[in-house]
Structure 1
Amino acid sequence: METQWVGEYRHVAMDKRPRKRPRLTWDVPPLAPPRVIPTVYHGQEVLYGASTNHLLHSYYSTGVPSPASPPWRLDDKDGHYVFAIGETLTPRYRILSKMGEGTFGQVVECLDLEKTEAVAIKIVRSLRKYREAAMIEIDVLQRLAKADISGTRCVQLRNWFDYRNHICIVFEKLGPSLYDFLRRNSYRSFPIDLVREFGRQLLESVAFMHDLRLIHTDLKPENVLLVSSEYIKVPDYKFLTRSAKDGSFSKNLPKSSAIKLIDFGSTTFEHQDHNYVVSTRHYRAPEVILGLGWNYPCDLWSVGCILVELCSGEALFQTHENLEHLAMMERVLGPLPQHMVIRADQRAEKYFRRGLRLDWPEGATSNESMRAVYKLPRLQNLVMQHVDHSAGDLIDLLQGLLRYDPAERLKAREALRHPFFMRDRRRYGYSFKGFKRTCSNSFGWTW
């Protein structure tokens, strides 16, 4: 079957859930590059349909003059670095495209002129608190790189430097995030055997960090990147009908299941303060909302939410305020334990009636909020709606990862020994290969 590039996806406005700030990697074309710079579309390198290697080769064969320092410019009002496509960050890195933007700063794709390879550079805002956070992230990345000799678990730090009052962190260039892939695939879920492989790698990365006494605190599909951007097109059996023999009902799957963790800007050491709010809303553990303090288990709650999203195509808890979030948890997982409710801090007491029962639906802010909660099924039913096999094992694993009490929640290495991962590894030897075999047998296609 032919191989395609994710960068070829047709843009469709279909984002169903608000985010702190939309990603730019595939959505917004970069600024028009100078004539001597290879053309870049949607954050992906394209030179007359060529690969990255072709792009780099063509760049050096055009006789581009040696890089010169760009003119000095004031930062924008938020402290972001202002640049133009084709300029350099130090004489070594030439900017090819803008890949993304967040509260921390911007990410740009650059050509490393010294090593002749494409890299991703995180340009941190010039404000003091972001510079300090960047230095902490660099410390974490260096610790991870020192312990992860194979470089297969977390994104690799290539270099870092301070440029015009902006900390710049140089990373290996990876593919799209799992969230981006889902969104560009019309939120069609991944096959369960691919979810199994993603989950295994994710838990191995989390266990690796926990062994180093590090807590990620911001695990979400946006922070799990595919190593490769390549994908393949396969029939989508959920939409396949006898009349649709032309293959129009199909979906895309990544050609490689290899993933890596990114974004260690919020990573915390075990000995640091654990009483402030962490995690992106949809993946935030109950102990964080209740103000009970948090530790390693908050990462495992996030992993459970991610696995549900990969299976269903949508975030499990699509909410933006605490009471509704807790009501959704109770709808999906059952009542919160009384001993956690009683220990909730003063800020969380207002979410409960007489300190015992969740103030729901009485405290709902709108009828729309109530409908959002009541439409959610129980966890078992939700999994059964989307998983064709291994549903029982997956439900049992999720019940261990999504236990309210962090002391009872599965640890990363315990989760890796769960039958959900062990049974099919014995059956197939490698889960993704098992899925390939299924496609070949069902549709007469081979990969």
Structure 2
Amino acid sequence: MSALPNVDASGTSVPPRAAEIFVGQALLSSSSAYSVKQFIGEGCYGQVARCLNRRTNREVAVKILKTDPNSGQDTENEVSILKVISVLNPDQCNIVRFFETFQHLIYKCLVFEMLEMDLYKLIHEVGYKPMFLCAIQPIAKQLLVALDALKSLGVVHTDIKPDNVMLVNGHEIRIKLIDFGLAALASQVQPGCRVQPIGYRAPEVSLGLPFTEAIDMWGVGCVLVFLYVADNFFSVTCEYQMMRRIVELLGQPEDRLLFAGLYTEKFFMQEEAAGGMTWRLMTEEEYSFVNNTEVKQDWSFFVPPNSLDGLVNMYPKEDAEHVDRLAFVDLVKRLLDLDGDQRISPSDALQQPFITRSHLCKQSDSRECRADAEELTDPSNKSLQRFQRFSKGIKKSFFCCWSPVVDL
């Protein structure tokens, strides 16, 4: 019996719908077949599915790209960037391993190694509890190694955020950087490109200044603070609120940067001063009028401090982490430098005390100091060995039992 044609309510024949991919289906490449077990993510690009590679009998993550006429170039861009970074050792450089790309029916598919959980989901799973610095430090170090490797190839990731940093498994603090769909060669980026998500966007991008791989370091700074306070540090829904918070915490970008920005007048207004024309941040009302848009308010339990130095005293002062917090905040300050040209590089950040742990035993030669240093730095210590899964979360001992207390 022949199949009935597709018809609409009036009985008119219509083109058949694109085939949907479903659980249990096999995606066929020239080298293997991938059985779809579960859909684990979705975005504007398409879906990510947990699949079983029938040839190797191992689970992989398959990124299934939508058949959007505007997504073809993005797909080719991601594949080209993945080819550029294929010279790197994905395990040593903490970058997701890419296996192959293939066409299945109308879908473009990219196959990656299967990882455990992204950092945003991790914080969500533990009830938005801040992470201790002994767990943040190895994450920071591995991220910096990844960015140092990308910088050596002239690649800008442009989308550093907690969602794109994933734990390799639930038994150790190993992470990998994922999602190169928006990555680009630094030699090809142009001022004015709107890259990076709001809340993780470097000032030079917001202002329309030339930018380099340094924008990824700004993203790392935002990710580390996210883990430290269990919330976004800057607004993730409103560009004005993000810029206002940057000015409140870090100060206003220098006039020379503001005069050069393509988008400066979106956030700032010129005023006459004794030394000539200068800039000031718009009020909410001025921003709304000039940009014909409303200022959005973020909903959050987190009340940020008045400066980055305030991060040091957000938790009890008399504990083993206090000295470590000083080194952590020093690193964050360098990562969140308003001037991308002055921002710390990955290689220099890898030599910073919070990463090297050199500061922990400088404070004292006492046995107590040495014990604190071992507890916070040794990846073979008992605490880190007990870093295991709990109800799809991570070991509770790596998260603070108290809430941040803002020292105003």
AA aligned opposite 2:239: N
1:187 counterpart (128, 141, 147): 128
Asked if 1:351 corresponds to 2:249, the answer is no
Please give the secondary structure, in 1, of the residue aligned with 2:117. coil
Residue of structure 2 equivalent to 1:407: 341
**Which range is displaced more, 198-207 or 310-319?**
310-319
1:376 counterpart (295, 301, 304): 304
Asked if 1:271 corresponds to 2:271, the answer is no
Please give the secondary structure, in 2, of the residue aligned with 1:225. strand
2:286 counterpart (363, 370, 388): 363
Equivalent runs, 1:139-154 vs 2, <5 Å: 139-148=80-89, 150=91, 152-154=93-95
Alpha-carbon deviations, 1:27-47, whole Å to 9, x = none?
xxxxxxxxxxxxxxxxxxxxx
Equivalent runs, 1:189-338 vs 2, <5 Å: 189-228=130-169, 230=170, 255-275=171-191, 276-338=193-255
Please give the secondary structure, in 1, of the residue aligned with 2:199. helix
AA aligned opposite 1:376: P
Question: What's the offset of the Cα at 1:375?
Answer: 4.9
AA aligned opposite 1:74: R
Asked if 1:103 corresponds to 2:9, the answer is no
**Aligned equivalents of 2:42, 2:386: Cα separation in 1:** 37
AA aligned opposite 1:146: V
**Aligned equivalents of 1:289, 1:215: Cα separation in 2:** 16
Question: What's the offset of the Cα at 1:383?
Answer: 3.9
TM-score where L is the length of structure 2: 0.76
Q: 1:113 to 1:333 in 2, by over 3 A?
A: same
Alpha-carbon deviations, 1:223-265, whole Å to 9, x = none?
000001x3xxxxxxxxxxxxxxxxxxxxxxxx31000010001
Residue of structure 1 equivalent to 2:393: none
Does structure 1 retain, via aligned residues, the 8 Å contact 2:284–2:295?
A: no
**Aligned equivalents of 2:109, 2:329: Cα separation in 1:** 42
AA aligned opposite 1:221: P
Question: What's the offset of the Cα at 1:362?
Answer: 5.0
**Aligned equivalents of 1:149, 1:351: Cα separation in 2:** 40
Residue of structure 2 equivalent to 1:85: 23
**Which range is displaced more, 384-393 or 399-408?**
384-393
**Aligned equivalents of 1:353, 1:298: Cα separation in 2:** 25
**Aligned equivalents of 2:381, 2:180: Cα separation in 1:** 33
Q: 1:325 to 1:112 in 2, by over 3 A?
A: same
Query: RMSD across aligned C-alpha pairs, in angstroms?
Result: 2.9
**Aligned equivalents of 2:287, 2:61: Cα separation in 1:** 43
**Aligned equivalents of 2:299, 2:269: Cα separation in 1:** 21
User: Relative contact order (C-alpha < 8 Å, sep 6+): which is higher?
Assistant: 2
**Which range is displaced more, 320-329 or 296-305?**
320-329
Please give the secondary structure, in 1, of the residue aligned with 2:222. helix
Question: What's the offset of the Cα at 1:439?
Answer: 9.3
Q: Once the two structures are aligned, what percentage of the paired residues are identical?
A: 27
Equivalent runs, 1:38-53 vs 2, <5 Å: none
Q: Across the two proteins, how many residue pairs are aligned to each other?
A: 338
AA aligned opposite 1:263: D
Question: What's the offset of the Cα at 1:300?
Answer: 0.6
Does structure 1 retain, via aligned residues, the 8 Å contact 2:95–2:146?
A: yes
1:416 counterpart (336, 340, 350): 350
AA aligned opposite 1:202: L
Q: 1:393 to 1:435 in 2, by over 3 A?
A: farther
**Which range is displaced more, 415-424 or 431-440?**
431-440
Q: 1:399 to 1:438 in 2, by over 3 A?
A: farther
Question: What's the offset of the Cα at 1:376?
Answer: 3.1
**Which range is displaced more, 123-132 or 299-308?**
123-132
AA aligned opposite 2:240: L
Question: What's the offset of the Cα at 1:149?
Answer: 6.2
Q: 1:119 to 1:136 in 2, by over 3 A?
A: same
Question: What's the offset of the Cα at 1:152?
Answer: 4.9
Q: 1:419 to 1:435 in 2, by over 3 A?
A: farther
Equivalent runs, 1:424-435 vs 2, <5 Å: 427-428=373-374, 430-433=377-380
Does structure 2 retain, via aligned residues, the 8 Å contact 1:284–1:302?
A: yes
Residue of structure 2 equivalent to 1:398: 332
1:74 counterpart (9, 13, 17): 17
Q: 1:406 to 1:434 in 2, by over 3 A?
A: farther
Residue of structure 1 equivalent to 2:54: 113
Please give the secondary structure, in 1, of the residue aligned with 2:163. helix
Q: 1:368 to 1:174 in 2, by over 3 A?
A: closer
Structure 2 unaligned segments of length 5 or more: list them.
Answer: 1-14, 271-277, 289-293, 362-372, 388-396, 398-408
**Aligned equivalents of 1:157, 1:322: Cα separation in 2:** 34
**Aligned equivalents of 2:168, 2:90: Cα separation in 1:** 17
Structure 1 unaligned segments of length 5 or more: list them.
Answer: 1-71, 76-80, 231-254
Please give the secondary structure, in 1, of the residue aligned with 2:224. helix
**Aligned equivalents of 1:150, 1:370: Cα separation in 2:** 37
Asked if 1:155 corresponds to 2:99, the answer is no
